[in-house]
Structures are given as C-alpha cells and as structure tokens.
C-alpha cells in the first residue's frame, strides 16, 4: 500500500481512487449453508451482481477484497473463518449474509452454532433474512459501495473500522461521521 496508509489523499484523488475500488470488488464467497445457494443465485444471470462490479471469481482469500460469509457458522468451522479473514489483504470488507451469519438465526439456541460471525471477525454490512433474497444481497453490496466511496483509506488501514450498517434500519445510511447503529448492532 505504500503511502496510502501514511498520508490523507487530497479529496479529488480520494474520490477517484475510491470510485475505482468500489467497482472492482473481488469477492470470496465463504458459502456455509443454505444462504450460499442464494448467493450463487445472486451471481448467476437473473440477478447478476457482476454488473455492480463484484467479481465472484477470487481464487482464494489472498486475492479477495470482499468476504461474503453466507450461512451458519459452527464452532467447528469458526477457526477456519478467522484464518481465512486474516489471510485477506487490507483493505478488506465483510458482508454477513443471512440470519445465521448475523446472529445464529433459527439456530440461536443450538449448542454447536456460533451466534454470529461478528463474534470472530468484524463485519461491515449485515444482510438479514433466512435466506435473504438475492435482491437483498444487491442492496447490501450497494450499501457497502457507498461506504467505500466515503471512507478514507488512511483511516481504514490504520485499523479504524467504520461502524456496521444494518439494512432495513430506519436511519439513513451512515456517512463518515454518523454511524447508523452502535457497533454490534444486530440485524432484526
């Protein structure tokens, strides 16, 4: 990244830079359960999120900017997700897709399910639903892109994560200064 994490870019440069980044999100799908099927549906011809600049062909976590965790995270699986996240290069973004990934979903009282992927890795966008419709994923992607457009790469890399967005919350999408929900906010 070089100078990016040292200096704050001038505004026009930042704008162009972020514009470029937000439309080339190489996406790694961590498909865990039923929601992964809806993720695939969102990537195929009917819904087609490639037209939003999300490319679901990342060969591995090391080549990915965006991690979509779709499905139930179990305690047995949790270390693998953490490792995968750590393998991704900065700046990296996470979309938690589906109620299970958000908070445990219908398995909220299970003995073997991790109640939310945000207990392990930081999440940028929560997409609620069981399973969410592909359209909801498109909405989540657009929300993430708005966030990328507004953010400062310097701050991001310095480890200051922006607060998560919850789709469907009444508040407007957050700008740099006004987060929508306190961190740890849950999808309904």
User: What is the rounded distance in angstroms from the CA atom of residue 35 to the CA atom of residue 100?
Assistant: 9
From 60, 66, 69, 42, select the one nearest 135 (Cα to Cα): 42
User: What is the rounded distance in angstroms from the CA atom of residue 119 to the CA atom of residue 155?
Assistant: 23
User: What is the rounded distance in angstroms from the CA atom of residue 19 to the CA atom of residue 9?
Assistant: 14
DSSP state for residue 67 in the 8-state scheme: E
Is there binding between residue 171 and another protein (CB under 8 A)?
no
From 178, 3, 22, 9, select the one nearest 93 (Cα to Cα): 22
User: What is the rounded distance in angstroms from the CA atom of residue 86 to the CA atom of residue 96?
Assistant: 16
User: What is the rounded distance in angstroms from the CA atom of residue 134 to the CA atom of residue 46?
Assistant: 10
The residues in 8-37 that bind another protein, with binding defined as CB under 8 A, are 30-34, 36-37
Least CB distance from residue 44 to another protein, whole Å? 4
Is there binding between residue 41 and another protein (CB under 8 A)?
yes
x/- track of binding to another protein for residues 50-89 (CB under 8 A) = ----------------------x-xxxx--x---x-----
Minimum CB distance to ligand SF4 smaller for 114 or for 145: 114
From 86, 107, 92, 91, select the one nearest 33 (Cα to Cα): 107
CA angle 135, 141, 142 (to 5 degrees): 95
Minimum CB distance to another protein smaller for 36 or for 66: 36
The residues in 88-117 that bind another protein, with binding defined as CB under 8 A, are 106-113, 115
Minimum CB distance to ligand SF4 smaller for 28 or for 107: 107
Minimum CB distance to ligand SF4 smaller for 43 or for 72: 72
Residue 85 binding partner per list ligand SF4, another protein, none, with a CB distance cut-off of 5 to 8 Å that depends on partner kind:
none
Minimum CB distance to another protein smaller for 18 or for 72: 72
Q: Write out the residues near ligand SF4 by the rule CB under 6 A.
A: 33-35, 71-72, 98-100, 105-106, 130-131
Residue numbers at the binding site for another protein (CB under 8 A): 30-34, 36-38, 40-41, 44-46, 72, 74-77, 80, 84, 106-113, 115, 130-131, 133, 186, 188
């Amino acid at each position: 990244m070089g100078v990016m994490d040292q200096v704050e870019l001038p505004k026009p440069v930042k704008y162009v830079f972020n514009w470029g980044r937000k439309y080339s999100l190489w996406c790694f799908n961590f498909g865990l359960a039923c929601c992964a099927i809806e993720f695939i549906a969102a990537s195929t011809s009917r819904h087609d999120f490639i037209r939003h600049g999300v490319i679901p062909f990342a060969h591995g976590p090391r080549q990915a900017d965006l991690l979509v965790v779709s499905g139930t995270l179990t305690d047995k699986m949790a270390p693998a997700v953490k490792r995968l996240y750590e393998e991704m290069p900065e700046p990296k973004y996470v979309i938690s897709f589906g109620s299970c990934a958000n908070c445990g979903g219908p398995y909220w009282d299970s003995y073997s399910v991790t109640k939310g992927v945000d207990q392990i890795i930081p999440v940028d966008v929560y997409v609620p639903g069981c399973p969410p419709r592909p359209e909801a994923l498109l909405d989540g992607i657009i929300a993430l892109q708005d966030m990328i457009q507004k953010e400062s790469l310097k701050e991001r890399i310095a480890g200051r994560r922006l607060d998560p967005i919850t789709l469907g919350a009444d508040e407007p999408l957050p700008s740099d200064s006004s987060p929508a929900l306190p961190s740890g906010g849950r999808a309904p």
